[in-house]
Chain A
Amino acid sequence: GPKVLQIPSHQIIDMGQMVTLNCDPVSNHLYFYWYKQILGQQMEFLVNFYNGKVMEKSKLFKDQFSVERPDGSYFTLKIQPTALEDSAVYFCASSLDGGSNERLFFGHGTKLSVL
């Protein structure tokens, strides 16, 4: 079936550095999402994105976070600068459209370790 790919699977960086997490969504999908999951806790919605714009963001989507999808390539989550509390697994998802009858497909996540 359709797959969402996330690259890399694990990233280790020093606090204060910039990090970019990459997501290759399902090819014809138009809506994109990022979620954050701290080990042992529930998945938390961060942001969704359509047509070059952030549609909705949660309070977890701090000013240090940004998303973009330049020229239809990877959908990226950039954190600049990183903080210790940003350590988590970040999941990307995509859907064909934004309607509630359209399922989301999730990637396997990128584990971010901020030291």
Chain B
Amino acid sequence: DAKTTQPDSMESTEGETVHLPCSHATISGNEYIYWYRQVPLQGPEYVTHGLQQNTTNSMAFLAIASDRKSSTLILTHVSLRDAAVYHCILRGDQGGSAKLIFGEGTKLTVSS
């Protein structure tokens, strides 16, 4: 799978909108862009994913660049519960069993 680049950390304040960037310049045509988040002592939690079109759900909005070489996860009205490490992961079919490969992610700190 192609590699992603994310900032090590970002800070925000409760109620703000946060933009978490991810660069994936070598993304392949069949690779989906996944976002998971993880807090200490818990397993990764699915946030969203997309292929080409922007997507939105109750957790976040995923903006995907038209050339797919970058994406941004947008969290609105963040709360203390949104503090986590956010992972941007590319995932493509690999013979029918597409594993997720985690990197370091972006540690989001939310202050009150």
- Which residues of chain A have a CB within 8 Å of any CB of chain B? 4, 31, 33, 35, 42-45, 48, 50, 55-56, 91, 93, 98-109
Q: Which B residue's beta carbon lies closest to that of A95?
A: B98
- From A56, A91, A109, B97 is in contact (CB under 8 Å) with A56
Q: Which A residue's beta carbon lies closest to that of B92?
A: A100
Q: Which residues does chain B contribute within 8 Å of A109, judged by CB atoms?
A: 41-43
Count of CB-CB pairs between chains A and B under 8 Å: 67
- Complex: how many Å from CA A91 to CA B95? 23
The reply on B100 being an interface residue by CB < 8 A is yes
Q: Which A residue's beta carbon lies closest to that of B85?
A: A42
Q: Which B residue's beta carbon lies closest to that of A47?
A: B99
Known: A45-B99, A101-B32. 9 other contacts (CB 8 A): A33-B99, A35-B102, A42-B103, A50-B97, A93-B100, A100-B93, A103-B34, A106-B43, A108-B43
Q: Which residues does chain A contribute within 8 Å of B101, judged by CB atoms?
A: 45
- Complex: how many Å from CA A101 to CA B51? 9
Within 8 A of A (CB), among B35-57: 38, 41-46, 49, 51
- Which residues of chain B have a CB within 8 Å of any CB of chain A? 30-32, 34, 38, 41-46, 49, 51, 91-105
Q: Which B residue's beta carbon lies closest to that of A39?
A: B40
- Complex: how many Å from CA A42 to CA B104? 6
Shortest beta-carbon distance from B78 to chain A in Å: 21
